[in-house]
Structure 1
Amino acid sequence: MPSFVNLKFITCSLLLPLAAAGQYNVSVAVTQLPPYHPQQADLFLAGSFNGWNPADTAYRFQHEGNTYRLNISLPPGEYACKITRGSWEKTECKTDGSDIPNRVFRIGRDTAINWQVDCWSDRFPRPARLSTASPQVQVLDTAFLIPQLNRTRRVWIYLPKDYASDQRRYPVIYMQDGQNVFDDATSFSGEWGVDEYLDSTGTPCIVVAIDHGAQQRLKEYNPYNLDSLTGEGEKYAAFLAKTLVPYIDKKFRTRPHAKDRMLAGSSMGGLISFYTALMYPEIFGGAAVLSPAFWTARPLAETVKEKAKSFKGKMFAYAGEKESAKMVSDMQSIFGLMQQKSKGKYQIDISPEGRHTESEWRKVFPKALEWLLGK
């Protein structure tokens, strides 16, 4: 998922003893809402602990009179989140409609938090943003069919400046969350600037970016069931490997070898990029796995034990220590298994100050791509 504009932290107080081994009880209360707030509207908490799902029923507040309450359990650590009314178009904001920083809280014991919401963003029409996409970027299809899931997606493609004037073949990188790859006008909170980077460096590479589905993202990018969500990641991975790659290879001058096909994504997009490379090593020979949401994929370690032996490509992995309590440890655990079980090459990058943001991934992506493309 895209990273999110930060929201404000209000107050925190201590509560009760530890509820379960390694986890603490967190009680969140929203005690003040805008006067025009819809009385029967549901509120949700979306953050680094649930893949930034704006309508996660497991994080839906209970309405108690004039107060909304939510009780959850979390491991110790720092978390970022925000309150929504079920979508990213309905998030809290300042009274003038401008964005406010992330709610950030740290858990070290059972905790009670009281918050207030000043205003909702859907009360203010958002001005249209100008496109920042390079001339080398085009929309390949506004409704490319994903037959495995019987739905469509917008697909973008970046072609190098010399593509039309030479006959070279190019490596291809397939990127998730396509809205955030090239264009600030379509991104939620900033683009990765992949086109600007490639234009400025002349890196010979084709990039194919697939939009996520607003309501389907958590299912499409997860190969496993998560609480009430049925994972569709196995089918989405098959779409990338069996439908999109053959189409791109047929229509464009690509290098038709696994070592020249890569995947990239962050958060849930990092998870599905990793999983697809793992499942289809004969198709994809590399992946940039940034801030992967491995905590949403509990059976992943068993899949790695079963499949890693076949992977002989390259993976670049990144995580920031300020993303969530288990981001770094989860990633290190999975890539530790990969190093034990496979003969692939791995570059692990840990940032002590790294957070779960698009701006962070924009900084890291060039390093990841250069390493993947390097010989």
Structure 2
Amino acid sequence: MAPRSKKPVEGTLIRVHYDAGWGNRITLRGNKPPLAWSVGQEATWSDGHVWTYVWPKDSGKLEFKPLLNDRSWSIGGNYELHGGAPVDIYPSFAPGAATLEKKYDFFSPQLNNSRTLIVSLPPSYVENPLKRYPVLYMHDGQNCFEDSSSFTGVSWGVDRTRDALVSQGRMDEVIIVGITNIGPQRAFEYTGGQRNERFGGGDLYGAFLVETVKPWVDRQYRTLPGREDTALMGSSLGGLISFYLGTRYPHVFSKVACLSSAFGWNGLDLVSEVYSWGEPPPVKFYIDAGTNRDPWIPTQRMKEALLSKGYVQGENLYHYEDKGGRHTEASWAKRVHKPLRFLFPWQSTSTPR
């Protein structure tokens, strides 16, 4: 084990949180001296399995990666350190597979019904127990991960896309929670507005998600529960309810992805609502639609409404037009990498407090 540091050294601190095990060590390689890509510099172990390295420069940008025993590179992209700003990272080194866990008969006191929650834990979840994760909540959960349960027999495969993007250093790791729909209740739960027997239960569904589902997930798993690390995503009516809840709970969700959303619902009701906003909610939105029998025009109207309120494409808004895209899980699977990268770009996750 590396010796403990006896006196502080001036510079910018890099903290690598990882239990390397007895006799192992963490090194760093990087693109500027005294670091190099050819051989690693030793990090110093401290209590809590925090390995520290003091970058002696006080300005400029450094790209670096930790290694286990100076042989195994951390999974994902290069990390960045900007002059004077310390950085905390929670790496993993062993390639693995995501884990699906299912919570059956999860009861909703708000809706008086039960459903299954499907939780996808990223490959590093077991390897690095010091790490906490952002959470993406997805509607129509049976369509998210497994072809065998998907409505059309083709799932989004969102966990596989996430893991591929992480390994390429194009997004941060996240826990994904799929909330399955209850077929006959889907339209009721995924629409807001005036309530009747068939429609308008979105506020009840939102209360279920915020007051029951999210607290359970935060207790059960190592999450980052703050709004800056919590997102929603869905398609069709699932995209509609994602947008609706994002605007009702901006203190809970900071980012929302809406694919092929039913923005034409109830006479473009949500689009009209955006135009009536005073101060826009502090939420970033991804919206898209295909051009082949998809709600392309209503999505254009929503884009125009958001732009009129000061949203900026590429910053807090990402609008995408999928040429030839259709209203199917297969189309959403092909482009789900876009909202994932927009919502959770590499090295964007907040540091646990």
TM tier, smaller: 0.5 to 0.7
Which residue, out of 296, 303, 309, partners 1:335?
Answer: 303
Which residue, out of 172, 178, 188, partners 1:209?
Answer: 178
Which residue, out of 248, 263, 271, partners 1:301?
Answer: 271
| CA 1:312–1:351: 2 relative to 1, 3 Å | same
Using the aligned pairs only, state the percent identity. 35
TM-aligned CA deviation for residue 361 of structure 1:
0.2
Question: Which amino acid in structure 2 is aligned with residue 300 of structure 1?
Answer: L
Cα distance in 2 for partners of 1:367, 1:198 equals 11
Which residue, out of 237, 249, 260, partners 2:206?
Answer: 237
Cα distance in 2 for partners of 1:305, 1:214 equals 32
Question: Are residues 1:172 and 2:135 paired?
Answer: yes
TM-aligned CA deviation for residue 302 of structure 1:
4.0
Q: Who is 1:263 aligned against?
A: 232
1:246-265 per-residue CA deviation (whole Å, 9 max, x = no partner) reads 22122211112212111111
The answer on whether the counterparts of 2:233 and 2:258 sit within 8 Å (CA) in structure 1 is: yes
Which residue, out of 142, 149, 152, partners 1:186?
Answer: 149
Question: Are residues 1:149 and 2:116 paired?
Answer: no
Cα distance in 2 for partners of 1:295, 1:343 equals 20
TM-aligned CA deviation for residue 234 of structure 1:
1.4
Q: Who is 1:316 aligned against?
A: 286
Higher RCO, Cα 8 Å, sep 6+: 1
The answer on whether the counterparts of 1:311 and 1:342 sit within 8 Å (CA) in structure 2 is: no
Q: Report how many aligned residue pairs link the two structures.
A: 239
Cα distance in 1 for partners of 2:275, 2:230 equals 23
TM-aligned CA deviation for residue 226 of structure 1:
8.8
Q: Who is 1:159 aligned against?
A: 121
Cα distance in 1 for partners of 2:266, 2:106 equals 27
Q: Who is 2:161 aligned against?
A: 197
| CA 1:217–1:352: 2 relative to 1, 3 Å | same
The answer on whether the counterparts of 1:154 and 1:211 sit within 8 Å (CA) in structure 2 is: yes
| CA 1:249–1:307: 2 relative to 1, 3 Å | farther
1:7-38 per-residue CA deviation (whole Å, 9 max, x = no partner) reads xxxxxxxxxxxxxxxxxxxxxxxxxxxxxxxx
Q: Who is 1:368 aligned against?
A: 339
The answer on whether the counterparts of 1:263 and 1:287 sit within 8 Å (CA) in structure 2 is: yes
Larger radius of gyration: 2
Cα distance in 2 for partners of 1:144, 1:174 equals 15
| CA 1:355–1:371: 2 relative to 1, 3 Å | same
Greater mean alpha carbon deviation, residues 251-260 or residues 283-292: 251-260
Instruction: Tell me the TM-score normalised to structure 2 length.
Output: 0.63
Question: Which amino acid in structure 2 is aligned with residue 169 of structure 1?
Answer: R
Question: Which amino acid in structure 2 is aligned with residue 192 of structure 1?
Answer: W
| CA 1:287–1:196: 2 relative to 1, 3 Å | same
Instruction: Tell me the TM-score normalised to structure 1 length.
Output: 0.60
Question: Are residues 1:353 and 2:324 paired?
Answer: yes
The answer on whether the counterparts of 2:263 and 2:271 sit within 8 Å (CA) in structure 1 is: no
The answer on whether the counterparts of 1:278 and 1:304 sit within 8 Å (CA) in structure 2 is: no
Q: Who is 1:114 aligned against?
A: none
TM-aligned CA deviation for residue 307 of structure 1:
5.1
Q: Who is 1:33 aligned against?
A: none
TM-aligned CA deviation for residue 149 of structure 1:
0.9
Structure 2, unpaired ranges of 5+: 1-96, 167-171, 349-353
